[in-house]
Amino acid sequence: MHYFETEFIKYKNNELFIENVKVSELIKQFGTPLYVYSKNHFINQYKKFDNAFSEIDHQVFYAMKSNFNLSVINTFVQLGSGVDVNSEGELFRALKTGISPTKLILTGVGKTKDEIRLGLDKKVMMIKAESEEEVELINKIASEMNVIAPVALRVNPDVDAKTHPYISTGLSKNKFGIDSSTALSIYRRRNEFNNIQFTGIDMHIGSQITTIEPFVEAISKMSDLYFQLRNEGLELKHFDVGGGIGVQYNNEKSFTLEEFAERTIPLFKKLNCKILFEPGRYLTANGGILLTEVLYNKQNGNKKFIIVDAAMNDLLRPSIYQAYHHIQPIEQHKDRIDIVADIVGPVCETGDYFARDREIIKTYSGEFLAIMSAGAYGMTMSSNYNARRRPPEIIVDKENVFVSRSRETFDHLLWDEKIM
C-alpha cells in the first residue's frame, strides 16, 4: 500500500505523527474513535490562500460548515478571516469567538424569518439572498425593524462544476441561487425594495472542484452581469466567488492555488471591486484525521472485512458520497503483506463503511488505523445514530495538545429526555 502524508501529518521512524505529537500517545490518552486536527495546517492553508490574492483587494471568509469546532473557527478569525455562516446555529457559534458581526456573511437557501432578523439585529456584513421571495421577505423584515439590509444575490451561473452531483450547486437544476435573468430583474427593480441596499453579486458552483475551467466560465458569466448592472447605474461593492477549490484525498490531479490565482486575478482586476472568497474544505480537510481501533478481521467466502470502532455516524462522507478517504496504520510494518478488504464500522447499516475493496496492509485486532483528510465534513456531519457518542476533537499545535471537545457521555445524550 502507499502512505498519505502532509507537511504536518507524517511518519517519523515508522510511527505516525501529527505535528510533533505521536498519534499513539493521543490514543493512549483519549481512546478511539478520535478526531485530531493540526492547527498549523489550518494556519498554513489560510496564509497560502490569502497571499495568493495579495495583489487585489480581497477578503477570505471561512466556510465554517466544513468544520464548526470553535477552536478551528477561532484559528481563522485570529488570522483576520471573516466567516461564512449558513444557519442561526452557525451564527451563534461564530459569535462565540468574539468576531465582529461585520465580518460575517449569512448564507443559506432557506433562511427562516428568525435567521434574517438575527442577521439584521447583529448587523452582519451582508445577507446572501437566493430567491425573489427571500428578497421580498428581507425587505419586509428590515422595514419592520427600521433598518437597511445589506443584500447580495447568489446568482446561479448554470455552469457544470464536474464534481459529485450531491455537491454540485451551480447548475439550473440545483436548488441554489437565482438564475441570471431573474437576478437582473431584481437588481433593476431595486427602487421597489426601500429597505435593501444591494451590495454585491455572489456565486458558488460546487464543492471539491478539481479543474479551473468551471471557475473561469462562471466568473466570466457573472462578470458580464456585473458590468451590465454597473452600466445601468448600480455600483456593487463586492464580487463573491464562493468556495469549492478541490483538495487531494487520493491521487486527484487538482490545480494549484497559484494556477487558480494566475487565471482569475486578471478577471478580478477588470471588476475593480472587492473580491470575496469562501473556502472551507481547502482550509481544513487535510488538517484532520479520524483515529480508529481494529476490532476484528473476518472473511465471508473470498471477501475480507476489517471491522473498526469508528462508524458512519462519525464520518458520513464515504456512505453518502462514496467519497475516498485514505486509510493507513499508525505504525508502518515493512514486513507485512497487503490484502484487499472492506473497512467497515459497527453500525447496523450495510452503508456503514469507510472503504470497499481497498488495498491495505494486513492489520490485527487491537491495532489502530488513521482515516486521513477528515478535517472537513467529518464532525460537522456526525450524529448519534445507534445511540453512539460522538468522538472528542483534539487540536495539536507543535507539541501542545488541546482538548477542544471531549467525548460525549451517555448522560449528555439523555440530558433533556424524559420518560412519560
pLDDT exceeds cutoff 60 at 361: yes
Are 301 and 204 members of one domain? no
pLDDT given for residue 207 in this prediction: 79
Contact predicate 222/203, CB 8 Å: yes
DSSP bridge pairs for 114: none
Cell 428590515 belongs to residue: 142
Q: How many residues does the chain have?
A: 420
Render pLDDT for 270-305 as a digit per residue (tens, 0 to 9).
Answer: 998 999 999 999 999 999 999 999 999 999 999 999
| Dihedral sign computed on CA atoms, order 109, 110, 115, 120 | positive
Residue 347 CA neighbour count, 13 Å, CB half: 24
- Choose the catalytic residue: 13, 181, 348, 410: 348
Are 136 and 255 members of one domain? yes
Render pLDDT for 164-183 as a digit per residue (tens, 0 to 9).
Answer: 454 444 445 566 789 889 99
Residues of the domain holding 383? 9-38+285-413
Mean pLDDT of the chain: 94
Instruction: Give the span between the Cα atoms of 94 and 82, in whole angstroms.
Output: 10
Instruction: Give the span between the Cα atoms of 417 and 231, in whole angstroms.
Output: 59
pLDDT given for residue 251 in this prediction: 81
CB atoms within 10 A of CB 27: 18
Among residues 233, 251, 279, the one where a domain terminates is 279
Coil, strand or helix at 393: strand
Render pLDDT for 206-227 as a digit per residue (tens, 0 to 9).
Answer: 878 888 998 999 899 899 999 9
Among residues 279, 297, 326, the one where a domain terminates is 279
Does 348 qualify as catalytic in the annotation? yes
Q: Supply the DSSP symbol for 390.
A: P
Query: Which of 390, 308, 304 is CA-nearest to residue 353?
Result: 308
Q: Give, for 277, the enclosing helix (H) or strand (E).
A: strand 274-277
Answer whether 0.85 is exceeded by the pTM: yes
Instruction: Give the span between the Cα atoms of 73 and 64, in whole angstroms.
Output: 7
Are 259 and 129 members of one domain? yes
pLDDT given for residue 205 in this prediction: 83
Measured CA angle at 367 (ends 326, 293), to 5 deg: 65
Are 115 and 171 members of one domain? yes
Among residues 245, 279, 313, the one where a domain terminates is 279
Query: Which of 207, 204, 246 is CA-nearest to residue 222?
Result: 204
Render pLDDT for 40-70 as a digit per residue (tens, 0 to 9).
Answer: 999 999 999 999 999 999 999 999 999 999 9
